[in-house]
Amino acid sequence: MAELSNALGTAASRTRFVGLRRLVRRLPPTAKVGAAILLFWIVTVLTIHFWPVADPLAMVGRRLQPPSGDHWLGTDALGRDVFSRTLHGSVWSIPIAIVVVAFAVAIGSALGAVAGFFGGWWDAVIMRLVDVTVSFPPILLAMAVAAMLGPGLANASIAMVIVWWPIYARLMRAQVLEVREREHVEAAVAGGAGRVRVLVVHVLPLCWTPTLINATMDFGQVVLLAASLSFIGLGATPPSPEWGSMISEGATRFYNWWIAFGPGMAILSVVLATSFLGDGLRDAFDRRAG
């Protein structure tokens, strides 16, 4: 861990751009494939309205047609184009995963930093809260929270932030505990800097590497859990083309396998992409440190 943050420290003293380019060059090919897949989905989210694909909510063909030249992934029970719906599904899943990871990182890191830096009661209270939260099996906690708040993607997102923040609290706390002991922090304290200033200016900038790697990997897991919640009826509601609810529409029609095929592959591509990229990032940071 010490090496990791040292590496980031030296990286920060170079220009950021060169550091980033070196990092990308060190990524293994699988990580680059992962990054490309994620980039594809993000571009899709931003530009899907201009794509020459069918309206995802409109009946565009006969019901339950298998894949064909007109409908690459067939049509569903309402005659909607599954290929178009799969592409449009990213507009739900990808932004939600970004928001959930961002909130989990922000809340978890803030609380973890406070716990690690100030210690004492702050530490005791925050870390006991973490202990209790991670005592729940993730899916059951998410289901309980989502059920209490009522179905809907916004509530499912809140549930997922509640599931994920403790991971980042623990990561950040461990990093802060470690960086806090460094000499430059001691120097800053001796120089009369306030506690909050020391934390924000001298400690936090050196603590982000593990969080970044973890957030990359969690991104896919969030997409997966969001789809799971929608699948069991706690996330997106029909007729929105969310991947999980599309699969649940397909679940009652075994013979029409193509209804669920597209969204399943889409989820798989995101999860694989983030684990490739996350693995690659971890190795790249490790090597830079070693």
Q: Which is nearer to other proteins, 87 or 156 (CB)?
A: 156
- Please, what is the minimum distance in Å from the beta carbon of residue 272 to other proteins? 5
> Contact between 1 and other proteins (CB under 8 A)?
no
Cβ of residue 33: shortest distance to other proteins, in angstroms?
Answer: 13
| SS3 call for 81 | strand
Task: Give residue for tokens 């306030």.
Answer: 194
272 binds other proteins (CB under 8 A): yes
CB atoms within 10 A of CB 192: 7
Token pair for 228: 């799971």
Q: Does 141 bind other proteins (CB under 8 A)?
A: yes
Q: Is 247 in the site for other proteins (CB under 8 A)?
A: yes
DSSP 30-54: HHHHHHHHHHHHHHHHHHGGGSS--
Beta carbon of residue 39, minimum distance to other proteins (angstroms, whole number): 19
Decide if residue 251 touches other proteins (CB under 8 A). Answer: yes
Residues contacting other proteins: total by CB under 8 A: 44
Helix 258-289 / helix 2-13 crossing angle, nearest 10 deg: 80
**Burial class of 232 by CB neighbour count within 10 A (0 to 12, 13 to 18, 19+):** middle
User: Of 143, 156, 215, 281, which one interacts with other proteins (CB under 8 A)?
Assistant: 143
With respect to other proteins, which residue has the nearer C-beta, 140 or 201?
140
First to last CA, the chain: 11
* Least distance in angstroms from the C-beta of 197 to other proteins: 29
Q: Across the strands, what pairs with 75?
A: 81
Residue 121 as a binder of other proteins (CB under 8 A): the answer is no
d(CA 197, CA 189) in angstroms, rounded, equals: 10
Residues engaged in binding other proteins (CB under 8 A) = 128, 131-133, 135-141, 143-150, 220, 224, 227-228, 231-234, 244, 247-248, 250-251, 254-255, 257, 260-261, 263-264, 267-268, 271-272, 275
